[in-house]
Structure 1
Amino acid sequence: MPEGHSVHRIARQFERNFVGHRVAVSSPQGRFADGAKALDGATLTEVWAVGKQMFMGFDDGAWLRIHLGMYGAWDFSGDIQMDATIASANGRMGQTNQRGTVFDDAGENSLTSIGAPRKTRVRMAEAEKESDVSAEFPPEPIGQVRVRLLTETVCADLRGPTACEVLSAEQVTAVLNRLGPDPQRDSSDEAGQKFVDTITKKNTPIGLLLMDQSVVAGIGNVYRAEMLFRAGIDPYRPGKKITTDEAWALWRDWVYLLEIGVQTGQMMTIDGLEGEDWRQAMAHRADRHWVYKREGLPCKKCGTNIRLEEMANRKLYWCPSCQT
């Protein structure tokens, strides 16, 4: 499932290419026909993400809420202009500055984003993939396209989302009220305090709390495992036994790691890498994570084998020696 940084990157793609334009909305698949009819011809005025959900506001007062879930993805085509906060394929922006293009071998949060503008097709989900296309614009829909958003120059096709619905402003507020803080939307001390207060009052294991979108928005399996390792915290320790200082450290680390993810497209969780070590880490998941997907391998700090267990039907990676 896409974690928070991926959804923010997608929102910024829409902000750059669609906001301020009238949008033709259709549902080639037919499952979103009524919703498409309600939005068709309106001007997109704002797009933003909270955690794993994206909200698109139109000038008629309607909102489109998208949750990609496990299988959802957006395909963009046309004269796409990549948002300046997203690393370009020429390595000119963000943490890729002067380091050249890096392609991830596992397809996880790939850096194969594009320069601006360029006639292309790019898929944005947990992994981003790019391919040049010479077909006429707009392209024929491929597969089960739930909704198509189309301007004169750019097309976006959505497949396989968990949620795709038209909401009123009041309904958007109701959804937001159920979500925990997202530091890309609000990194203030007030947002951090809300996170800290929620964590330290619950008897639920911290490994579950970090995945609870009502506690904090955007953290998934990768960030959960890596943040707890970086903090040296046992994922089974109850929230009530997390100290205030530890809770604040987790919040600040999420602010920090999420920004790196948005800027680079990679869930980079090992600090201090430079030169070829940095390039290796950006290209290979095993070189940029401490514990995620490293079950049975020795911990990079202490040598103890990394454990893989299940917590609420999700895979949990952790080091039983470093995390106490």
Structure 2
Amino acid sequence: MPEGHTLHRLARAVDDAFGRTTPEVSSPQGRFAEGAALLHGTVLEGAWAHGKLLFVDFAQDRTLYVHLGLIGKWFVLPVDPVHAETGPPVVGEVRLRIADEHHVADLRGPMACTVVHQEEVARLVDRQGPDPLQPVGGHNDPDAAYRKISGSGKTVAELLMDQTVLAGVGNIYRCEVLWRHRLHPLKPGRSLKRASWQLIWDDLVHLMPWGVRTGSIITLDDVLEDVRAALDGGAAVQVPREFAVYQRTGMPCLRCGSTVRAKVVAGRNLFWCGGCQRRT
């Protein structure tokens, strides 16, 4: 399942391509025909995300709600001039198509794709925890997440993957951020100190925008500095897929040399260092 930075990046792409215009909205597959008919011919006012939920606001108080789930795919692509008048051919089972003469966005395999009103949007967002990619304030309060964490006997690793506790964080970010702060992932939430939670939150606020900017998860400081320097210099960037512990079972920790361990937690393989991640 895509982590939150992917949804924020996708929302930005939809907004850049179609925001404040009246694109064609259709359902080539037919399963979203009624919803597409409600949105077609209305102004797309903007797109935004909270955690792993994506919302596209249209005129007349109508919002498209999309949850990609495990297999959903949605890309915004430029239209080949050859297909400018007829539109690109439909390939595969396309639940939703948003298109104009310049761009096309085909949605395939989402867990959710429906038209909702503002009351339902508020309900969906209120069920989520705070999102490190959103400005802090109102609903997006990291203290609300800590209240849930500090009152729970579940492991910190489980809680960081619970979208009702913290929105948008997936397996890679949870493994890497816990490693960055030497925190044992299997400690119960109720034993996590407030200062340690603040370290986790602040680091996610620091790291996740780079995921939005580059489309890749960056958690190693040296990689981040190289990417920052390249972008500042106007160079094209190919972000290496390098992590400290994620998918490095049995390999030496980059910090202390101890063996990286793995265990299934909350349905996903958790990775951590058995040596330096003992902080309580």
Q: TM-score of the superposition, structure 1-length normalised? A: 0.78
1:294 alignment partner AA: R
Is 2:31 aligned against 1:31? yes
1:234-245 alignment runs, 5 A limit:
234-245=184-195
Task: Choose from 237, 241, 249 the match for 2:199.
Answer: 249
* Partner Cα distance (1:23, 1:7) in 2: 21
Residue 12 of structure 2 corresponds to 12
Is 2:246 aligned against 1:292? yes
* Partner Cα distance (2:226, 2:63) in 1: 44
> Secondary structure of 1:13's match?
helix
Is 2:17 aligned against 1:44? no
Task: Choose from 106, 111, 122 the match for 1:173.
Answer: 122
Q: Which has the higher contact order (CA 8 A, sep 6+)?
A: 1
CA drift of 1:294 comes to 0.8
1:208-227 alignment runs, 5 A limit:
208-227=158-177
Structure having the larger proportion of residues in helix = 2
Q: Is the 8 A contact 2:14 2:76 kept in 1?
A: no
Residue 155 of structure 2 corresponds to 205
> Secondary structure of 1:259's match?
helix
Task: Choose from 268, 273, 279 the match for 1:319.
Answer: 273
2:32 alignment partner AA: F
* Partner Cα distance (2:260, 2:226) in 1: 27
> Secondary structure of 1:172's match?
helix
1:321 alignment partner AA: G
- What is the number of residues matched between the two proteins? 268
CA drift of 1:275 comes to 4.7
CA drift of 1:193 comes to 1.7
Task: Choose from 83, 89, 92 the match for 1:136.
Answer: 83
2:202 alignment partner AA: R
1:206 alignment partner AA: V
* Partner Cα distance (1:323, 1:270) in 2: 16
**Cα-to-partner distance string for 1:131-163 (whole Å, 9 max, x where unaligned):** xx5642310111110000122322111011111
Is 2:227 aligned against 1:269? no
Residue 31 to residue 292, structure 1, CA distance change in 2 (3 Å)? same
Most deviating of 300-309 and 168-177: 300-309
Residue 234 of structure 2 corresponds to none
2:125 alignment partner AA: L
Q: Is the 8 A contact 1:47 1:57 kept in 2?
A: yes
* Partner Cα distance (1:299, 1:282) in 2: 24
Q: TM-score of the superposition, structure 2-length normalised? A: 0.90
Residue 87 of structure 1 corresponds to none
Task: Give me the identity figure in percent.
Answer: 39
Most deviating of 294-303 and 148-157: 148-157
* Partner Cα distance (1:205, 1:297) in 2: 24
* Partner Cα distance (2:191, 2:179) in 1: 17
**Cα-to-partner distance string for 1:254-312 (whole Å, 9 max, x where unaligned):** 11111111122221101144559x88x95432xx3110111111111111111121113
* Partner Cα distance (1:198, 1:253) in 2: 19
Most deviating of 187-196 and 166-175: 187-196
* Partner Cα distance (1:313, 1:54) in 2: 23
* Partner Cα distance (1:234, 1:275) in 2: 29
1:74 alignment partner AA: W
* Partner Cα distance (2:154, 2:38) in 1: 42
> Secondary structure of 2:201's match?
helix
**Cα-to-partner distance string for 1:11-60 (whole Å, 9 max, x where unaligned):** 00111111101122111011111111111111111210001110011111
> Secondary structure of 2:131's match?
coil
Residue 113 of structure 1 corresponds to none
RMSD: 2.1
* Partner Cα distance (1:135, 1:143) in 2: 20
> Secondary structure of 1:210's match?
helix
